[in-house]
Amino acid sequence: MTARMTPFELMEKLVSFPTVSRDTNIPLIDWVADYLESHGIASHRYIHPDQPKHALFAHVGPWEEGAVVLSGHTDVVPVDGQPWDSDPFTVVERDGRYYGRGCCDMKGFDALAIWALVEAHYADVQRPLQIALSFDEEIGCTGAPPMIEAMQPVLPKGALVIVGEPSTMQAVTGHKGGTGFNTHVVGFEVHSSLLHTGVNAIMAGAKLIEWANEVNTENMARKPSELAAMFNPPFTTAHVGVISGGTAHNITAKDCHFAMDFRVVPGEDKDAWGTAYLEKVREVEKQMQEVVPETYIEVTPRFDVPALQPEKDGLAETFVRQITGDNASHKVSYGTEAGQFQEAGYSAVICGPGDIAQAHQPNEYIEVAQFEAGHRFMRDLLDRLK
């Protein structure tokens, strides 16, 4: 049996694994599995069939339904091109902050969850506790659904899930849904002096991006529903963050690549937004093909994340509020895996240490005070399981 590590020691170890979403997370999962096994805790995995990615889940306490589930993701965003003042994969303490990629989003919470699971095992709790560590959250929450499905026949069904995304330890009970589409516009190259005989893929793609601007303007002007008014902004947004294409300034672009993403307020059908986008795509494609028939636009789904719907008298919300004493209403516009757990029949809430404003930033950090608040939360959680 190895020594029981502190939450800080666990966070140091987890951050040391450079689990950027484009790379494997298996060394981290192997280490967590070995650490839990050294304390007599069996863990289970979902193994991605095509990529070197694993998810891990485990159960301690009575082998019965009704567990509290602590949910976190193991992947982090890249550090490429960011001006870090220290090694991103080494936790450094400065000025009351812990710096390191993932300290805030969300290996700080993962460390606290692992600590709580081990402590619950030794405390012989009367109510079970589970942990679920996913992959590929940062590229569209694609790793959680198969992990949740894999949990069902292996572990007793949990009652409530606490997703530890950074919320400054406030109980967040709702978030927007999201859907996104990789878009490849295929044009026809000619000399730009004869552009009317070719199809410029970038300029055709710009029509779709301008459509997104129009959608945002229309949605902003519309009176929000009572549910939408809880969010900032209180409307569905369309967004393109990266675009590439073209060969030279004097050639009509043959290719244009971008992703069209929607963040959809609860109460609206995110599939309907996807349908509206595809209708616009077909309209622009028709215009292209009237010039050069072999041009086209290829659209492939990129991610699909359900909203977290506020629950009336939700078990997860009530449980967290009893610990934190926070009775205010909190909603966020970013997406998480909470909606996916909710769709699978769990009561779900978001509550974790750190501020989302620090996530993905160069010199990402979590306030020491926030990490300690997360530790207090876990100690109080364990008291409620005894």
Q: Which residues contact 342 (CB under 8 A, 6 or more apart)?
A: 161, 306, 308, 309, 311, 348
| Torsion sign, CA atoms 74, 75, 80, 82 | negative
Sheet of strand 97-99: strand arrangement:
92-94, 97-99, 365-367
Residue 133 near residue 144, CB atoms below 8 Å: no
CA distance 1 to 39: 6
DSSP character string of 162-199: EE---STT--B-EE-EEEEEEEEEE-B--BGGGGGGSB
Q: Would you say how long the chain is, in residues? A: 386
| Helix intervals (H) in 6-165 | 7-15, 26-38, 107-123, 144-151
Residues taking part in catalysis? 75, 137
Residue 236 near residue 216, CB atoms below 8 Å: no
